[in-house]
Amino acid sequence: MTNTQPVIIRAAMLAIGDELLSGRTKDKNIGHMADRLYEAGIDLTEVRIVADDQPSIVKAVKELSQNYDYLFTSGGIGPTHDDITADAVSAAFDLPCMNDEKAMTLLAAHYKARDTEFTPSRQRMARMPQGAQHIDNPVSVAPGFIIGNVYVMAGVPSVFQAMVENILPTLRTGSRYHSRTIFCPFGEGVIGIPLREVQDAHPDTVIGSYPKFEEGKFSTELVVRARDEEKLDAAAAAIEKMLTDIQQ
Amino acid sequence: MTNTQPVIIRAAMLAIGDELLSGRTKDKNIGHMADRLYEAGIDLTEVRIVADDQPSIVKAVKELSQNYDYLFTSGGIGPTHDDITADAVSAAFDLPCMNDEKAMTLLAAHYKARDTEFTPSRQRMARMPQGAQHIDNPVSVAPGFIIGNVYVMAGVPSVFQAMVENILPTLRTGSRYHSRTIFCPFGEGVIGIPLREVQDAHPDTVIGSYPKFEEGKFSTELVVRARDEEKLDAAAAAIEKMLTDIQQ
C-alpha cells in the first residue's frame, strides 16, 4: 500500500428543489450520499442545492459534471410541472428529452397491472435524455437515469436510497479512507498549536477537529483520516501522545 | 400591493467542512438558514458545501458573492489548523488576513476573566480580513465577521444560530412569500396535467408538488407560494376546485 499511489475518484452532488431552499423540506439525501460514498471510496468533494429553475440546474450540471468524475442528482423527476430535471439535464448535454421507450413499456405495464390509467402526467416520468440508461426503482417503478457521468435520482428519500444502492456496485471506486475518532477533553484553544504540528508531521493524513460545546464546557472530537492504515496508526499515536503530554 | 413590483433579495449559503462531505456530520445549518431567510423575505437561491480546502472556498466565495446580494457561510472559524475560512475569504477579497484589534481585546479579556491562557491557538480566532466588521457571538465570544456582502459564521449550530439572529435585523429584506399547503389525497400522476393548467393560469405564484409514499400509497402535498396574498388566494382556490372536480 505505502508505495502505490492512491486512486482518487471525486464526485459532486446536486440536490434540486425549491422546498430545500425555502426550508419546507430538510434535505436527507446529502448526508446519506456522503455516508455511502465515503464507505465506497469515492470522495464527495462538492455539493450544491438549486431551485426548480432550468437555467440554474443546467449551469450546475454542466459545471459539476465537467469538474468531477461523477455527478449525482436528487429531485425533480416526478410527473408534475415542477419536475424539470430531465429537461434540464438533457439541455446540459444538448440532447433531446424524450419519452424513453423502455420506460414507457415498464410504466404502462405497471399501471395496467393496477388497473390504473397511464395518464399523460405519468408518461412524463418516462422522459429522459436520448440514449440514457435506466436506474431501477424498486420502490415506485419510475426509473432514474444515467447520461454521461451524471446519475439522476429521485428526491423522495426512500426512492433515492434504493437507487443509490443500485448504482453503487457499478461505480469506479478509489482507495478508501480509514478513520479514527479520538476524544479530546480540552477545547480547541488548548490543542490548536500542537495539533497543527502533528498534522504537519503526518502530511498523508487529514486531521479534523470538531468542537463541542455542552453545558458551558468545550471539548473536541479529533478525527484522523488516511487512505493508508499504517499512516493512520502513526498519526493517531502522535495525537494520543500529544494529549498525554498536555495532561502531564 | 398588486400594482407594485416586488422587491427581490437573493442570497446564497456556503457550508464549509470536510465533515459534511464525509458524512461524519449531518448539516443542520442549511435548513435553519433556509427557514429564517424565508421568514425574513430573502430568497435563498443557491447553497454549496465544500471541503476545508482553500482554493475550493475561494472559488465558491468569489462566485457566490458576485452572483447574489448576500452570501452566508458556516464553519471553519475556530482555532485549529483546519479552520481556514478567514484566510480563504480574505484571499477571495484580495485583503490581508490579520489579527483584528477589537477581537484580540475581546478574547484577551474573556480568557483573562476565566483565568485561562490566551494561547496562540485562541488568538487565531481573532483573524479576519482587514476592515471586516464583527458578528457578535453571545455563546462563546469569538466573533464571526462581515466583509463586503459576505457574512462569515461558525459551524457549531448553537453559535451559528445565535449569529444568524444577530445579523437578520441588519439585512435588506424583500417582499416575503406567503404560502399555503393543501393536502391532496391523489398521487402526482393523477393531478399532474390539471395542476400545470392551474400553474399556467397563475404565473405570479409558485406551486410545488411534493409526493409522499407511505404504506404503499401515494398522496401529495401541494404548496402554493406568492408574494401577493390575493394572488395566493386565487391560486389556492383554483387548486381546491381542481381537487373537487377530480373527486366528482
Give pLDDT, residue B74.
98
The predicted model gives A4-20 an average pLDDT of 94
- Does one domain contain both A166 and A126? yes
Q: For residues B239 and B110, what is the distance between their CA atoms, to the nearest angstrom?
A: 57
Q: Identify the closest residue of chain B to A46 by CA–CA distance.
A: B50
The predicted model gives B220-244 an average pLDDT of 96
Query: In this structure, are residues B200 and B232 in contact, taking their beta carbons and an 8 Å threshold?
Result: no
Min CA distance, B191 vs chain A (Å)?
7
What pLDDT, in 10s, does the model give residues B45-102? 999 999 999 999 999 999 999 999 999 999 999 999 999 999 999 999 999 999 999 9
Q: For residues A6 and A86, what is the distance between their CA atoms, to the nearest angstrom?
A: 35
Give pLDDT, residue A1.
47
Q: Which of A20, A22, A193 has its CB closest to that of B120?
A: A193
Q: Is the pLDDT of residue A9 over 50?
A: yes
Which residues in chain B touch residue A121, judged by CB atoms under 8 angstroms apart?
A: 188-193
- Does one domain contain both A61 and A23? yes
What pLDDT, in 10s, does the model give residues A37-71? 999 999 999 999 999 999 999 999 999 999 999 99
Q: Which of A19, A48, A177 has its CB closest to that of B210?
A: A19
End residue of a domain, out of A170, A186, A205 = A170
Residue B104: pLDDT band (50, 70, 90) is very high
- Does one domain contain both B149 and B123? yes
Kindly state the percentage of chain B with pLDDT values over 70: 99
A194: CATH:
3.30.1370.10
End residue of a domain, out of B170, B204, B232 = B170
Nearest partner of A152 among A57, A248, A20, judged by Cα: A57
Nine-digit cell at B104? 484580540
Q: Residue B207: inside a domain, yes or no?
A: yes
Give pLDDT, residue B1.
47
Contacts of A126 (CB under 8 A, 6+ apart): A99, A100, A103, A104, A106, A107, A142
- Does one domain contain both A111 and A224? no
The predicted model gives A8-22 an average pLDDT of 97
- Does one domain contain both B166 and B55? yes
Residue B22: pLDDT band (50, 70, 90) is very high
- Does one domain contain both B189 and B164? no
Nine-digit cell at B139? 455563546
Q: Is the pLDDT of residue A158 over 90?
A: yes
Q: Residue B2: inside a domain, yes or no?
A: no
Min CA distance, A4 vs chain B (Å)?
23
Q: Which of A20, A48, A82 has its CB closest to that of B209?
A: A82
The predicted model gives B126-137 an average pLDDT of 98
Q: Residue A5: inside a domain, yes or no?
A: no
The predicted model gives B12-37 an average pLDDT of 97
Q: Residue B1: inside a domain, yes or no?
A: no
A95: CATH:
3.40.980.10
- Does one domain contain both A137 and A93? yes
- Does one domain contain both A150 and A198? no
Q: Residue A18: inside a domain, yes or no?
A: yes
The predicted model gives B18-41 an average pLDDT of 97
Q: Is the pLDDT of residue A229 over 70?
A: yes
Q: Residue B4: inside a domain, yes or no?
A: no
- Does one domain contain both B166 and B182? no
What pLDDT, in 10s, does the model give residues B164-202? 999 999 999 999 999 999 999 998 989 999 999 999 999
Residue B211: pLDDT band (50, 70, 90) is confident
What pLDDT, in 10s, does the model give residues A110-128? 999 999 999 999 999 999 9
E strand residue ranges, A75-216: 97-99, 127-129, 133-137, 141-147, 150-153, 178-184, 205-214
* Residue B56 forms contact with A (CB below 8 Å): yes
Domain with B127 in it: 10-170
Q: How many domains does chain B have?
A: 2
Q: Is the pLDDT of residue A213 over 90?
A: no
Q: Residue B97: inside a domain, yes or no?
A: yes
Which residues in chain A touch residue B212, judged by CB atoms under 8 angstroms apart?
A: 156
- Does one domain contain both B186 and B164? no
- Does one domain contain both A47 and A155? yes
End residue of a domain, out of B151, B170, B189 = B170
Nine-digit cell at A91? 439541455
Position B20, amino acid: L
Q: For residues B210 and B230, what is the distance between their CA atoms, to the nearest angstrom?
A: 23
Query: In this structure, are residues B186 and B213 in contact, taking their beta carbons and an 8 Å threshold?
Result: no
Residue B140: pLDDT band (50, 70, 90) is confident
Min CA distance, A38 vs chain B (Å)?
6
Q: How many other CB atoms are there within 10 angstroms of residue B112's CB atom?
A: 11
**Residue numbers of B between 198 and 217 with CB closer than 8 Å to A:** 199, 206-213
Give pLDDT, residue B3.
56
- Does one domain contain both A202 and A182? yes
Please report the ipTM that was assigned to this predicted complex.
Answer: 0.95
Q: Residue A1: inside a domain, yes or no?
A: no
Question: Between chains, do B78 and A22 touch, taking CB under 8 Å as contact?
Answer: no
What residue has cell string 419519452? A99
